Amino acid sequence: MPPEFLKTQRSKAMPSKPKILVVDDEIYICHIIQEILSQDNYEVITTQSPDEAISILKSHPIDLVLTDLIIGDKSGVDILKYSLEIYPDIVVILMTGQPTIENAVSVLRSGAYDYLSKPFTLEGLRASVRRALEKQNLYRENINLKETVSLYKISEAMGSTIHLESLLQLILETLSMEFNAYLASILLIDNKSKNLSLKAYYGMSTNPRELNFLRGDDPLPQWVIKNGQPKILNTDKEKMLHEENSYTRAFISYPLMAKGKVIGVLNLIRLNNLSYFSTGQIHSLSIIASKAASAIENSKLYESLEQAYLDVLTALANAVEARDIYTRGHTERVWYMAEIIARELGWTRENIWEVKVGGILHDIGKIGVPDNILNKPGILTQEEFEVMKTHPTQGARILEGITFLVPSLPYILYHHERFDGSGYPFGLKKDKIPIQGRLLAVVDTFDAICSDRPYRKKRGMRDALKELQDCSQSQFDPEITLIFLKAWEKKKIDLEKLKRDNLKARQGIEFSSKSIRAY
């Protein structure tokens, strides 16, 4: 497909004369038809060669083809099929000097709009062409309406999520459905390396040509990035005969532009008679690519802000842990395990973000607990324990005025409630305890058992797992406990990570103890 194809496709969308291709091996018939139809304000191209006709179809946007049924040793049906492969909305009229019912039925079944018997009247020719183009216009108006509705649906879908991973997958799934693409991918330019990086993929393929295209290793997306212009490639059956699967494919690579810069490419592949992209679809794709690029930029900005919030919250949690030298690394391990359980429960990405924030901040209320209680090297008195029990409500009071942290409050308030109702601060029972609190109670207790405390040495992970099992139904929600134990059994929780984090925490305790003694 020549580079100027896109220009001709765009110009096709503008009001212009309908373009008609006449194919007949008798030159005088070509001249007569050209003269008559040119008077009706049609642009007419003629040829006596089927090969030249195919070449013209490749390089010119044709609306209607008038072709003889038999052209030397070639068949007009071949031109008919090829025309429909390139332009799904093209109309083809077959002409023949040897009309039979069998011929008429055969060509109409092959997709021809009409069948003219030679000799035909000039008025009959004009009427047939006029009806064919009216039908085509009606079809294109319906397609445009459908594509407008599809565009609206895609725009609505893109507005339903702000997280990059979900957004990219949603864009590809929706585009694949609306544009009948069987493979699709989005590649974004890495800000540091400036290289294309595959960010989302839809469909399955083992074809090396397709995989290279979708991954950005093919020259096509590379050209698009360099030039900032879309590129279409149609591979013909003749060219595909030496490949494993001899299909007609259409590849389109569209630039994603934001703030005047190319930030990535959108790639689509179609197969067989649905392969060639119509003018309306290319126009719709340009609008969708523009909206997708803006949505991607907004999503990346949101995730940067999200990470900045996490960094601030982690620093805040670390400030609390700096006072309680025995809980260093505790919050990180807690939200790490809580996130795994949340995924096992099938929670959404938004819910998992709340798990992370809740896990980081669940002990934030300890900032109001005096050091002599927080780091007491022995068992707390009842009075001291009552002070310690206030840290969930103190934590909630600290954060309740910050709107975006409201979803984390259940983790802070309820992670010391017990399933049998004997917990604190409210003594809630069973499902009266919000699920966030029931989830965090399991992972918080597990980590506490596996960590050193001022009043006792840590116990092993095996002991911690047994305690979870033994205290299911009394202290812990049995369903969440079972999910945790199964995740542990399937090695979904990285044991080495927990050991490394615990070792760092112990080294921090030893360093702090030496510093205190030296002081």
pLDDT digits (tens, 9 = 90+) for 117-128: 888 888 999 999
DSSP per residue, 337-380? HHHHHHHHTT--HHHHHHHHHHHHHTTGGGGGS-HHHHT-SSPP
Mean pLDDT of 424-433: 95
The answer for residues whose C-beta is within 8 angstroms of residue 23's C-beta and 6 or more apart is: 46, 47, 48, 50, 53, 65, 66, 67, 68, 71, 76, 79
pLDDT tier, 516 (very low <50, low <70, confident <90, very high otherwise): very low
Looking at residue 240, its pLDDT comes to 39
Mean pLDDT for all residues in the chain: 80
With respect to CATH, is domain 324-518 assigned 1.25.40.10?
no
The answer for residues whose C-beta is within 8 angstroms of residue 159's C-beta and 6 or more apart is: 295
Helices within 116-270 (DSSP H only): 122-158, 164-178, 208-215, 219-227, 237-240
Mean pLDDT of 262-266: 92
Q: Is the CA virtual torsion 96, 98, 99, 100 positive or negative?
A: negative
Q: Is the predicted pLDDT of residue 230 greater than 70, yes or no? A: yes
Mean pLDDT of 367-380: 84
Percent of the chain having pLDDT more than 90?
A: 29
Looking at residue 426, its pLDDT comes to 95
Looking at residue 144, its pLDDT comes to 66
Distance CA 253, CA 219 (A): 10
Q: Is the predicted pLDDT of residue 208 greater than 80, yes or no? A: yes
**Which has the higher per-residue pLDDT, 245 or 168?**
168
Residue 205 near residue 247, CB atoms below 8 Å: no
Residue 405 near residue 373, CB atoms below 8 Å: no
Mean pLDDT of 181-189: 90
Residue 413 near residue 362, CB atoms below 8 Å: no
Q: Of 442, 426, 427, nearest to 477 (Cα)?
A: 442
Q: Is the predicted pLDDT of residue 506 greater than 70, yes or no? A: no
Distance CA 277, CA 142 (A): 16
Looking at residue 2, its pLDDT comes to 35
Fold annotation for 159-299: Beta-Lactamase (3.30.450)
SS3 for 427?
coil
Looking at residue 150, its pLDDT comes to 62
Looking at residue 279, its pLDDT comes to 67
Looking at residue 127, its pLDDT comes to 93
- pLDDT tens across 209-220, in order? 888 888 888 888
CA torsion 209-90-280-228 (nearest 10°) is 40
Report for 32-46, 118-132, 422-436: range of highest mean pLDDT: 422-436
Superfamily designation of domain 16-143: Response regulator (3.40.50.2300)
Looking at residue 505, its pLDDT comes to 45
Q: Is the predicted pLDDT of residue 22 greater than 90, yes or no? A: yes
The answer for residues whose C-beta is within 8 angstroms of residue 515's C-beta and 6 or more apart is: none
Mean pLDDT of 60-76: 85
- pLDDT tens across 459-487, in order? 888 999 999 999 999 999 999 999 999 99
Q: Do the domains at 16-143 and 159-299 have one common CATH topology?
A: no
Mean pLDDT of 347-372: 88
pTM: 0.52
Looking at residue 500, its pLDDT comes to 63
Q: Of 304, 313, 319, nearest to 335 (Cα)?
A: 313
| Domain map (residue ranges) of the chain | 16-143, 159-299, 324-518
pLDDT tier, 515 (very low <50, low <70, confident <90, very high otherwise): very low
State the DSSP code for 274: G
Looking at residue 196, its pLDDT comes to 85
